[in-house]
Structure 1
C-alpha cells in the first residue's frame, strides 16, 4: 500500500465520499487484497473474492470509524468473501418442483433407525438459536406466538429462524 500518511489521507477522503479518492484507494489496496486472498481462498476464487471485496469497500468505506482500522477491515472483508465463496462451492442446487418428490422418495428409502440417527445429527449440527426454535415448535408443539413470547422476540423473527432451521435440517438430510 501507499505510505502511511498518503494512505490515511486517501482513506479520509474516501470516507467523506470523494469518488476519485475511492477509486485511488481501491487501486492502492488491490495488490494487498490479492496477496491476502491467495492465502485464504481457493485459487479459482481469488479474482472473485478480490472483486467482491473491493465492491464492499467502495460501498461501505464511509462507515469505517477509524482510518487506522482500514487494513484489518479490508482483510476481514476478504476473508469473509473467501469463506462465502467456499461455502457456495459446496452448496447444493435448490430443488426444483419435482425436487420435493425426489426428496420424499430419498428420505422414505431410509430405514426408521437410519432416518432417526440422521435427523439427530442434523439437529445437532444446527446453531443453538436455530435448534431452540425447532425444539420449541416441533417437539414442545408451541405456537409461533408462544415461542416469540418465551424468547422475547417478534413473531416474524421466530418464523424466519424456524424456516431457516428447517431448511438447514433438510439440506443436511439430503446431502
Structure 2
C-alpha cells in the first residue's frame, strides 16, 4: 500500500520559508502540526490528570510558546522541528505536574511521561505484534499524516487507538479505562484500525 506524501513533503519547504521570515508559511506550518501536537498531548495526559487539565489547554500553551519562540528554533529538518515541539510540550506537561504536586503535598518531583510520548519512536514499538498504524507508515516524517488521520476518526476510535497503540496498555486496562468489556474493546479496536487504514489509504489516491 502506498501513501500520499504531500503532507510530509510540504513541511520541509514550509519550515525553510518560515525560518526565512515568511509569516504565511509560518502560520501554515503551525496549522499543519497542530493535530500532531494534540495527539502527543493526549498521550501524555494520564487519566488522573484529565480531571485537572484538558489536553487542548496544553496544546494551546505549547503552540503559543512555540510561535513566540520560533526565532530561537535553530533546526533545519522536519524531525528536528517535531522534536522541538515535543520538547516544549513535555516541559509544559511536567510543569503542570509539578504545580499539582506542590499544591497537594507541598513538594514536587520529576515524573516520567507516558512511555514513547516524547521520543523519536512515538508511533513505533506498538503494544502488540498485530499490524498497527506504525507498520503502515515508513519513517518519522509520516507522523503528521497519521496524527491527522486519527483526528478524523470518531471519538471512541481515537480513544481505543490512543490507549492501545500509543499508551501501549493491555486490553484489560483499556477495557477498564473505557468502561467496556475486554471483548467489546477488542472489537472496537479492530474496527478503529480498519477505519484508520481506510483513512490512510484514501490519501494515496
Please tell me the TM-score bracket, short chain as reference. 0.3 to 0.5
- Higher RCO (CA < 8 A, seq sep 6+): 2
Structure with higher helix content: 1
TM-score using structure 1 length? 0.48
Structure label with greater radius of gyration: 1
